[in-house]
Amino acid sequence: MTASSRLTFLTRIGFATRGLLYIVIAILIVRTGRAEDPSGALEFLGKGGGQLLLGVTAAGLFAYGLWRLADMALDIERHGSDRKGLVERAGAGFSGIVHLFLAWQAIRLIRGAASSSGDSTREGAEMALELPGGWVLVMLGAAVLLALGAVQLVKAAKGSFLRYLEPQIAQQPWAQWSGRIGYAARGVVFLISGYLLAKAGIDERAGEAGGMAQVLSWLTSPFDWIVGAGLFGFGLFSLIEARFRQLHDVPIDDAVRRATRLR
């Protein structure tokens, strides 16, 4: 097995890990009312599954993050060079950074380090507001979150995410609807998070900002359950992607051969 194919295999584990984290988030909010984000779900899995599960999770998230960053840099998913393609590649890069951070958190949990319970969105807002004119940075961050939310909703409406699946699976209603409700729920989370961040920037109060956990806490019943059910759908769709997504190998081996020749 080549290095490229090994990375692709681990990326599939990364998709499955992402799905598991979203399923845990959904179960916690629906069954216990406990609002968590992927970091909190990761800590929950670590307590229940031990170091072996965290080790597999860390490897999958790390590979997934690298694959996303490679997609941004090399366009391995064939997004194209037009404006839409560039936006998708930027989104892939953002996703890559987020999942590499989650992999780092998994490694910290394996080593017995305490998990950070802070909200990265809120902490970022606090740091920005301490700078002169920092509210502008906060508003820019809010604009990015709102744009990401809109993109997720467009994907849910158009079903554009299905083009990455094997054709026979993309035609199945269970694949279509788990993806649609999943992307719609993520879109709602991004939009509300963007709204909270914009409000924090306007009021210059970082405590009003928050990521997924804050959004789920902010929602009242039954809307938290509805969004939680949608996130469960996204988790299921991620598991479908783990098995049936058409992945293009990252050209690691070619890069190594070229580097060797240069020497």
**Given this model, what pLDDT does residue 49 score?**
65
Higher pLDDT, 1 or 139: 139
Q: What is the pLDDT of residues 209-261, one digit of tens each?
A: 777 888 888 888 889 899 999 999 999 999 999 999 998 777 665 654 654 55
**Given this model, what pLDDT does residue 113 score?**
61
Q: What is the pLDDT of residues 64-118, one digit of tens each?
A: 998 889 888 888 887 777 887 888 888 888 889 989 988 998 888 888 765 555 5
**Given this model, what pLDDT does residue 178 score?**
96
State mean pLDDT over 191-207: 83
Look up tokens 């890990």; give the residue.
17
